Amino acid sequence: MEKINNAPGFRINHILEDIDRQVNELQMVAEAMANFTARCQRVSWKVSKITGGIALLLFLFGDVLLKSLISYPESTMITAVRNGTFSLGNLIIPIIFALVVLAIGALSFSKVIYPQMLKRALANGADLVRIDNDYRKNLWKKLETKVRENLEGLSVRDIWSGYGRSLAKIQGFLNVDLKRYYNKIVK
């Protein structure tokens, strides 16, 4: 009688164990993707700050530098502002300098830096996940090709996608919801 009464609980327990296994697999893939995109985001912000700083400097002083090199334009933006003769024509060269620098920064990240980061991640994907026990080590061996496929499918635009939010939801499900379901079976 006791075995019969516990049988539905055992079946539900097996279902929850299967869900636990699948969610752990999903968590590892999401962890790898979230770590890669977070690295790319950090580098992207660094490139943006450097590029933005250079663009600002060239916006403010690029026409001064150009005038000292080739005696063009006749009046720089700063001189025009100081003399009170400022017009929109004084903004053309500074805006061109700033836009060129911003374009170079964006192209350098998307065509040089990002492909190098992707190549390193594909070569050593285990750096993207925490492998601290045999279970996670075996799980990584099983999921390494899936992570590789996901990384190969990423583009520069995708580094701002919600892998971090997805990982947090998965961890919440494993740590809170799934434990609650197990506790309901035991009671």
Burial label, 67 (beta-carbon count in 10 A; 0-12, 13-18, 19+) = middle
Q: What is the mean pLDDT of residues 122-141?
A: 94
Which of 122, 112, 107 is CA-nearest to residue 154? 122
According to the model, what pLDDT value does residue 150 have? 93
Q: According to the model, what pLDDT value does residue 5 have?
A: 56
pLDDT over 90 at 139, yes or no:
yes
Q: Which of 28, 43, 19 is nearest to 106 (CA)?
A: 43
pLDDT tens sequence across 38-96:
999 999 999 999 999 999 999 999 999 999 999 888 889 998 999 998 888 889 999 99
Q: Which tokens is 119 given? A: 């190549």
For residue 4, name the pLDDT band (cuts at 50, 70, 90): very low
Return the pLDDT at 7: 58
**pLDDT bracket for residue 165 (50, 70, 90):** confident
Note the pLDDT of residue 10: 63
Residue 8 has pLDDT above 90, yes or no: no
Q: Are 103 and 47 in contact (CB under 8 A)?
A: no
Q: For the chain, give me the number of helices (H) and strands (E)?
A: 7, 0
